[in-house]
Amino acid sequence: MSELTQEWILKTLTSLGLKQTDAEVYVSLTKSGSQKAADIAETLETYKRQIHRSLRNLQAKGMVNASPERPAQFTAISFEKVLDELIKANVEEAKRTEKEKEKILSRWPLNNRGNL
């Protein structure tokens, strides 16, 4: 993965709602394959605690799988599936916001719905 491609992937993932560290962990796993949290922390030169937090976030989003043994090996799912899931989540959030728009605006403190 070239540096430009990696930078583009990181920007894409963060623009779709991932935290920067979560995106970096995901990209690290896609580049290096299955890894333990300690190895990811060493690669990214950060604390294991932060990596574990990111791995939990990524697992909750279905972007990373963990092996049953301890210490676990973590594996990234395909980038295409990740994009599909993040796009789907963003579309659902937009639909929820659209549905709530009138209720939100009716509670807006200014009658003209302008600036504060």
Full residue range of the structural domain in which residue 9 is found = 3-77
Of 81, 85, 101, which Cα lies nearest the Cα of 16?
A: 85
Position 6 scores a pLDDT of 86
Position 86 scores a pLDDT of 85
**Considering the entire predicted model, what is its pTM?**
0.77
Position 111 scores a pLDDT of 52
pLDDT digit string (tens) for 41-59? 999 999 999 999 999 999 9
pLDDT digit string (tens) for 85-96? 888 888 999 999
Contact 26, 76 (CB under 8 A): yes
Q: How many domains does the chain have?
A: 1
Helix, strand, coil % (nearest 5) of the chain?
Answer: 65, 5, 30
In a domain, 12, yes or no: yes
- Check whether 112 has a pLDDT greater than 70: no
Residue type, 48: K
Local confidence band at 5 (pLDDT 50, 70, 90 cut-offs): confident
Instruction: Give the contacts of 61 (CB within 8 A, at least 6 positions apart).
Output: 18, 85, 86, 89
In a domain, 109, yes or no: no
User: Which helix (H) or strand (E) segment is 110 a member of?
Assistant: none
CATH number at residue 59: 1.10.10.10
How far apart CA 4 and CA 20 sit, in angstroms, is 16
| Length of the chain counted residue by residue | 116
